[in-house]
Structure 1
Amino acid sequence: MRTALTDLLGIDAPLVGFNRSPGVVAEVSRAGGLGVLAATMYSPEELDAQLTWIEERLDGRPYGVDLLVPGHTAPADPADLLASLQSQIPPGHVRFVEELLERYDIPKPSTPREQNPEILANLDPSGVPALLDVVFAHPIALVANALGAPPPTLVDRAKDAGVVVASLVGKPEHAARQLDAGVDVLVAQGTEAGGHTGTIATTVLTPEIVERAGGRPVLAAGGIATGAQMAAALALGASGVWCGSVWLSSHEDITPEPVKRKFLAASSSDTLRSRTRTGKPARQLRSAWHDEWEGEGSPGALPMPLQPLLTAEAWSRIDDAAEAGHTGATALESYYIGQVVGGFTALRPAAEITREIVDDCTARLRELAGLVGDPSRTRPQTVE
């Protein structure tokens, strides 16, 4: 299968697999697509190790990295940054989370944890140069920015290294800003997608972005987990697809098993866009956590980054307890997932999922081509 995306990246199939698990990234690339590592929570040392691990399994096949790089950076002391942000969290919100965990009998950690080091990796802009040094020290084929238009420092380094720059857009007006910033590939993410997403459906958004892309490749994202859905995206003018949620049904994905079991039991109507995890609307699996935040006495979600600072330890405790089979934690347990969760029937290898999507897409495109008559044939005469 050949499109503008396969030509640009040198891949066999126009499918990008986005996931936080290095195992998924490696298997998608090995199966002919482009695996992209969600690297927003890694320190420079951790990221270097993960990229090295991926490369050792690819035999030179291309892969990519997705970072969270703010448009403007300034030096900051992590301790001062954390203290400043935590001082802005109202006591009532802290009390609400504590009481919620008590109602569900969520155990406290046996040993004290560091104070939100993962969040600081995203919030402290002083760490950005080190992350970029790691990324461009590796032979990546694509770098994507998860936070608006990429800054000139990222784009310039990518251009010098011959690395493709991609960025997600959720509205047509976002496309112009991304193109002005020097983005090579636009990812049109519809509301069906998991994680942070807008309100426009993929089938509406994709052709709008294609029209504004000025010939640059556009990938459709959101609601794509099958070959038929991939074929539909290509029919809309996309040069490929960006898939995220589907890998949560893979063996290689690192999402805890209790969450995966909930995914397998869910329908496509069991997700919602909620601000209660990050402070911004993010699609995730509905659980008792969301019911509590929507119930009487809820103080409402705080804006990003205060909400994730407020809830990070709570989610760690919930994950740990659910992993051990705790009933209350299992009721609260959730994760980011798109509406395609309703199609999950079993956990499978990521490579098998990749090949099935591509093969079924090819078959579907051939079926559709058969619907078009041969224009060289004359129409049969009607008998009166």
Structure 2
Amino acid sequence: MRTGISQRLGIEFPLFAFSHCRDVVAAVTNAGGFGVLGAIAYTPEQLDAELTWIDRRVGGRPYGVDVLVPGRVDAAALEGGVARAIPDRHRDYVLHLLAKYGVPGHPPASGGADEFGRRVTAAGAAGLADVALKHPIGLIASALGPPPPELVDRAREAGVPVAALVGTVEHARRQVAAGADIVVAQGTEAGGHTGEISTMVLVPQVVDAVAPVPVLAAGGIASGRQMAAAMALGAQGVWCGSVWLTTEEAETSPAVKRKLLAASSLDTVRSRSRTGKPARQLRSAWTDEWDSGQESPGPLAMPLQMLVAERAMARIGAAAERGEPGAVELATYFVGQVVGQLDRVQPAREVVYGMVYEFAEAVERLSRLSR
């Protein structure tokens, strides 16, 4: 597929795979796409190890790294330690939920909480970016907020383009002004942090607003037909995340993977219950209780809600794997509305090839309409 993006990055297919799993990143890159590793889960040392592993397996083929740079974080919460900033009523509410749904024990101790909180800041993202830029990456992406000037400067010195995710035209213009080389227009259908505008509406508006800066489409794309539609809207490629969650290589726990395979497109919700910012995920007892439960204290701001949720989810995930029904009810994960299309487990490379083949079929079908 000869688009400006594919030629610039030296890839066969302008199919970008965001994943927290190094195996998915390597598999997609080796299949001709472009894997992008989400870095927020890692310390700088861990990220260095993950990228070294990828380097050894992709044979010089390009891949990218995504760092989380929220535009607004509760900075006051970071003073004096993240863990100590969590109100008692939120701690108590988590214990209440675990007891209500029969999940034994307590959330893991808060060791490492302060370090995790620091990663969800511009300074933390810069530290992860420094590690990433020591590797032969082909792209660094900034999620949530505009890329900090230091990140842009470091990337340009290394000859690495900067991509930025947006949910509105205004955000797109702001990202380009901040130095983004590539804009990812992500519709509300997407998993994770999203805005409220659909992909079909958002992509052409962003394409027109930031031209000639290239745009990738994200949200609601898990097939070749959807990829063709995105390209018809003016995108030079697509950025996908949810479709990799049910691949053989995915980091998704088996219990959650089973829920994803059984879910319909109506089974997702934008909720602040995991991160403190609206993020689309599989609807579960966890999202219902936090969003509308009578006893809910309401989600905290980022990064505190991330800490509250992820510590509890570690306990819930372990219990769900043992088949405990209450834990299965609570278990959730970030996923978009395309979850209704995810009906089987297959290797990531087969997903790439299937999307490319269906894309070609869709383009040929459309070309026959104009003959």
TM-score bracket, normalised by the shorter chain, equals over 0.9
Q: Distance in 1 between matches of 2:321 and 2:115?
A: 20
1:20-99 equivalence runs, <5 A: 20-69=20-69, 81=78, 83-99=80-96
**TM superposition shift of 1:128:** 4.4
Give 1:113 deviation, angstroms.
5.7
CA distance in 1 between partners of 2:138 and 2:162 (Å):
9
- Give the drift of 1:133: 2.5
Q: Is the 8 A contact 2:38 2:66 kept in 1?
A: yes
For residue 125 of structure 1, report the CA deviation from its aligned partner. Answer: 5.3
Report the 3-state secondary structure (helix = DSSP H, G, I; strand = E; otherwise coil) of the residue aligned with 2:229: helix
Task: Look up the match of 2:311.
Answer: 313
Tell me what 1:17 maps to.
Answer: 17
**1:318-343 C-alpha deviation (Å, 9 max, x unpaired):** 01111222221111100000000001
User: Quick one: which amino acid aligns to residue 44 of structure 1?
Assistant: P
Larger deviation, residues 92-101 vs 185-194 = 92-101
Given candidates 144, 148, 152, the residue that maps to 2:145 is: 148
Residues 1:334 and 2:332 aligned together: yes
Q: CA deviation at 1:91?
A: 2.5
Q: In the superposition, relative to structure 1, how do residues 46 and 82 fare at CA in structure 2: closer, same or farther (>3 Å)?
A: farther
Q: Distance between the aligned counterparts of 1:123 and 1:68, measured in 2? A: 6
* TM-score, normalising length: structure 2: 0.94
Structure 1 residue 295: Cα displacement: 2.1
Structure-to-structure mapping, 1:150-229, within 5 angstroms? 150-229=147-226
Greater Rg over alpha carbons, structure: 1
Q: Deviations over 1:112-161 (max 9, x none)?
A: 56243663352365544542331111110000011311011111111121
Range that drifts further, 244-253 or 291-300: 291-300
Q: TM-score, normalised by structure 1?
A: 0.91
Secondary structure of residue in 1 paired with 2:16: strand
How far off its partner does 1:359 sit?
1.3
The aligned residue for residue 253 of structure 1 is 250
Q: C-alpha separation between the residues in 2 aligned to 1:71 and 1:272? A: 22
AA aligned to 2:44 is P
Contact 2:203 2:234 in 1 (8 A): yes
For 1:22-63, what per-residue CA distance to the aligned partner results, in whole angstroms no more than 9, with x for missing partners? 000001111111000001121111111111111111111110
Query: Do the aligned partners of 2:20 and 2:38 also contact (CA within 8 Å) in 1?
Result: yes
Letter in 2 for 1:360: E
Question: CA, structure 1 residues 134+296, in 2 after alignment: closer, same or farther (shift >3 Å)?
Answer: same
Instruction: Indicate conservation of the 8 Å contact 1:72/1:151, yes or no.
Output: no
| Among candidates 261, 272, 289, match of residue 269 of structure 2 | 272
Question: Given the superposition, is the C-alpha separation of residues 12 and 146 from structure 1 closer, same or farther in structure 2, using an over 3 Å criterion?
Answer: same
Moved more, 305-314 or 43-52: 305-314
Which residue identity is paired with 1:369?
S
Once the 2 structures are TM-superposed, how far is the Cα of residue 170 of structure 1 from its aligned partner?
0.2
Q: Give how far 1:291 is off.
A: 2.2
The AA in structure 1 aligned to 2:330 is L
RMSD over equivalenced CA pairs, Å: 2.1
In 2, Cα distance between equivalents of 1:264 and 1:157:
41
The change in CA–CA distance for 1:352 and 1:118 in structure 2 (over 3 A counts) is: farther
> C-alpha deviations, 1:306-327, integer Å up to 9, x for none?
2223233211110111122222
- How far the C-alpha of 1:268 sits from its partner, in A, is 0.4
Percent of aligned positions that are identical: 54
Judged with a 3 Å threshold, the aligned counterparts in structure 2 of structure 1 residues 202 and 60 are, in CA distance, closer, same or farther, namely: same
Matching residue's letter, 2:17: G
Specify the code of the residue in structure 1 equivalent to 2:133: F
How far, CA to CA, are the matches of 2:72 and 2:54 in structure 1?
A: 30
Question: What 5-or-longer segments of structure 2 have no aligned partner?
Answer: none
